Structure 1
Amino acid sequence: MLRPWWLGMLGFALLVASVFAWLGQWQLARAVDTSPPEPGQTEIVRPIADVSEPGAYLPDPLVGQRVEVTGSFVADDFIVVSSRFDEGVEGYWVTGQLRVDPADTGSDAPTSLAVAVGWTGDRETADAAARALDADPPQDVALTGRLISGEGPAVPPRSEPWEITRMDPAALLSRWSDIEDLDVYRGYLTSAEPFAGLDDIHSPAPEERSSVNWLNIFYAVEWAVFAGFAFYMWYRLAKDAWEKELEAIEDAAIAAGAEADAGGTAEAAPARD
């Protein structure tokens, strides 16, 4: 182990272990939230501009945050979204495109937010509400509700290719009108006040998150194990080389002893006439 080659290998093992240790520290630093949001923060109604921006992903601590927003709904853009469960009962949401007031976004660019305006367990009621809202879309409304991350797209049923089964603003955007140069929020709003005689959407407060991320702690432990394994590999390789040298010395000694025994036997043999 004190030979130059193995000292060099030890230096390499130290370098590898240092990298693993840094990665473990990086994971550990992100495992504990030293400034978690105070309990009940999501229930404080905040302006939407303080919570999210158009096109930006909603940060985890702000998912489910209650916000306020003003704007006007766009005609002919009320769409029914199926597979919506309300306290365990399957039903439908009626959703619309809310053109947000520029004062709420701080930008003159047209900006829209997908809003779920109510729930019903009956498809005919949902379709009727959507038609009524398309004919007379609410204008200059002030809404409060929860801002939630989009659920992502899903393949529609083969029998209903235009059916939307997930609350995905991108999927709704593909069905909206007047979308040229339009900015869109990635999240959506569940309105606290229902429209068109629909039932209000059951949207409870999100569960309080733990300040400890156990998955990151597990990763940090893994990196520590990898760092220790680098030293074990150096020790194991050095020991294997040492054992091979011992075997070679022993084999050479045995061979030398065998030659000596063979020479002695030849000298002790009697001479023949």
Structure 2
Amino acid sequence: MWKTALKPRWIAGFIFAIAVSGVFVLLSQWQFGRSTSPEMPVNPDTEKVQPLTDTLQPGEFFHGSDADQMVSATGTYDPAKQVLVPGRLHDGKTGYWVVSAFAVDGAPTLTGSAASPRTWIPVARGWVADADEATAPPSGPVQVTGRLLPSEAPVAGKAANPGEATAVSVAELINDWEISSYPGFVAATAEVAGGADVSAAAVPGNLLPLEIGPQPPAQQINWLNLFYSLEWVVFAGFAFFIWWRLVKDDYHRDLEDALDHAEPHEPEQQPGATRQPEHTEQKVQP
């Protein structure tokens, strides 16, 4: 059968099948890419800085629509309320997030026996490679600008070392700091004190900026496009199947022709001729 497949026309047919199947594979990849396309593009409104007090309210659930929103707030840091969150990566290196408590001016105050006179929000001010490199937050009135993020879940079954927290978890931090807090935290991009930006992004030093961008939007699987992508793969295989089937049919035709030429044929009898009976001589015994 290989002899048949090596005929020039079938070699050309095989090249054509490769080209057709390649087009089908590309179409399959395109359909697969569309099947996992983002549910919606990144919302440009999240990059517009909004007042924190107008975006999120303390004592309420953190709404998903508030995540990644750039916010700003004025207030003061408490240097005694600062923790390090270990196990954070920056340019491939493992280090610490420096998280400080920030009292928000104009924020609603919560009521209750455990409520504090002021409402706070954790601010992730930057990243350090070593715990000893963490610096105190700026003093005095500060205007903080950054990305609003939901509270992280505390690491279960792990006790934090002194001066550390297992995660940027509001539930864990308010117990440590004994404060009332917003249900989220801010990854700072700017800290303006005395008219100058003193954040990690503006002042060179061991404290490096976090540079947290908007989170990728949720992806939704389009099952129809996914089915089409699988369908194109089947078509790609079918192109080779058709080529193989045509070669096989040609091979069987060659076998039939070879058998027809190999079979012996009896000589044809002329019309009207009669076949003479065969005579055998008999010996007469004396």
Question: Highest CA radius of gyration, 1 or 2?
Answer: 2
Q: How many residues align?
A: 167
Whichever residue aligns with residue 151 of structure 1, its letter is: E
- Out of 176, 185, 190, the residue aligned to residue 187 of structure 2 is 190
Percentage of pairs with the same residue = 29
How far does residue 186 in structure 1 lie from its aligned partner after superposition?
1.0
Determine helix, strand or coil for the equivalent of 1:203.
coil
Per-residue deviation, 1:43: 0.9
RMSD: 3.0
Q: Quote how far apart the aligned CAs of 1:55 are.
A: 2.1
Residue 124 of structure 1 pairs with residue 124 of structure 2: no
Contact 1:118 1:199 in 2 (8 A): yes
Runs of 4+ off more than 4 Å: 106-109, 156-159, 212-215
Matches within 5 A, 1:1-273: 39-102=43-106, 105=107, 110-126=118-134, 129=135, 132-133=136-137, 137-155=138-156, 157=158, 160=161, 163-176=164-177, 179=179, 183-193=180-190, 194-195=199-200, 197=205, 198-209=207-218
User: If each structure's helix is expressed as a fraction of its own residues, which one has the higher value?
Assistant: 1
Gaps of 5+ in 2: 1-39, 111-116, 191-198, 224-286
Larger deviation, residues 137-146 vs 108-117:
108-117
Deviation at 1:80, TM superposition (A): 1.1
Q: Per the alignment, do residues 114 and 185 of structure 1 end up closer, same or farther by CA in structure 2, a change over 3 Å counting?
A: same
TM normalised by structure 2 equals 0.51
Structure 1, unaligned stretches of length 5 or more? 1-35, 216-273
**For residues 40 and 95 of structure 1, what CA distance do their matches in structure 2 show?**
27
Amino acid at match of 2:168: M
1:97-142 residue CA offsets vs partner (Å, 9 max, x unmatched): 111102xx2559511001111111222212xx1xx44xxx522111
- C-alpha change, 1:191 and 1:161, in structure 2 (3 Å) is closer
Partner of 1:31: none
Say whether the 8 Å CA contact 1:116–1:190 is kept in structure 2.
yes
In structure 2, what is the Cα distance between the partners aligned to 1:145 and 1:159? 26
Return the alpha-carbon distance in structure 1 between the equivalents of residues 95 and 183 of structure 2: 23
- Counterpart Cα distance in 2 of 1:205 and 1:38: 8
Q: CA deviation at 1:167?
A: 0.9
CA distance in 2, matches of 1:205, 1:73: 25
